[in-house]
Amino acid sequence: MCTIGRTAGGTAGKAHHRTDRAQYPVWNGQERKDNGAKWCCFSFLNTTFLPRPLPSLFVEDTGGNRYNLITQENYEFLRDSYFRYACLLGKEAVHTPGRTFGEGIAKLHEEMEVLVGEELNVNIEEQNGRLLFRLWKTHRWGVLTLYYFPVKFLEALGPELRRISITFIHKLMKANGIQTVLDEDDTDYVLIWLSEEVPDETAEERRKRLKLLRSYENGKVQALLRRVENRCYYKNLPKALDRYEPQNDYERSLVSAMKEGLDFLSPEHGIMQYSYDPFYEEEPECLPMYLHQQIRVVYDSNDMVTDYLVDYYNSYSRETYDIIPATTLALSPETEKLFCMDDYPERFLQWADKFINIII
pLDDT digits (tens, 9 = 90+) for 43-96: 333 445 554 555 556 555 556 666 678 899 999 999 999 999 999 999 999 999
At 70 the pLDDT is 87
Reported as half-sphere exposure (CB side, CA atoms, 13 A), residue 289 has a value of 26
At 285 the pLDDT is 86
- pLDDT band of residue 8 (cuts 50, 70, 90) is very low
At 128 the pLDDT is 81
At 64 the pLDDT is 61
Buried b (16+ CB within 10 A) or exposed e, 334-349: ebeeebebeebbeebb
| Residues 327, 331, 336, 337, Cα dihedral to 10° | 30
At 283 the pLDDT is 83
Q: How far apart are CA 167 and CA 161, in angstroms?
A: 10
3-state SS, residue 306: helix
At 145 the pLDDT is 84
User: Helix 72-89 crosses helix 101-116 at what angle (to 10 degrees)?
Assistant: 20
Q: Is the pTM of this model over 0.85?
A: no
Amino acid occupying residue 137: K
208-228 pLDDT per residue, tens: 999 999 999 999 999 999 999
Q: How far apart are CA 290 and CA 272, in angstroms?
A: 10
End-to-end Cα spacing for the chain:
8
- Helix residue spans in 15-158 (DSSP H): 72-89, 101-116
| Phi-psi sector, 58: left (phi>0), alpha (psi -120 to 50), beta | beta
Q: How far apart are CA 254 and CA 246, in angstroms?
A: 9
CA-closest candidate to residue 121, choices 345, 278, 322, 288: 278
At 67 the pLDDT is 63
- pLDDT band of residue 241 (cuts 50, 70, 90) is very high
Do the Cβ atoms of 335 and 81 come closer than 8 Å?
A: yes
At 61 the pLDDT is 55
At 333 the pLDDT is 97
Q: CA angle at residue 97 from 94 to 102, to 5 degrees?
A: 130
At 60 the pLDDT is 58
Q: How far apart are CA 171 and CA 178, in angstroms?
A: 10
Q: Which residues contact 28 (CB under 8 A, 6 or more apart)?
A: 140, 141, 143
Reported as half-sphere exposure (CB side, CA atoms, 13 A), residue 311 has a value of 11
Mean pLDDT, rounded, for 108-129: 93
- pLDDT band of residue 188 (cuts 50, 70, 90) is very high
Amino acid occupying residue 255: V
Q: Is the dihedral of CA 218, 221, 224, 227 positive or negative?
A: negative
350 alpha carbon, distance to own chain's centre: 16
Which of the two residues, 360 and 56, has the higher pLDDT score?
A: 360
Average pLDDT of every residue of the chain: 85
At 55 the pLDDT is 54
CA-closest candidate to residue 360, choices 301, 303, 295: 301
At 21 the pLDDT is 37
281 alpha carbon, distance to own chain's centre: 17
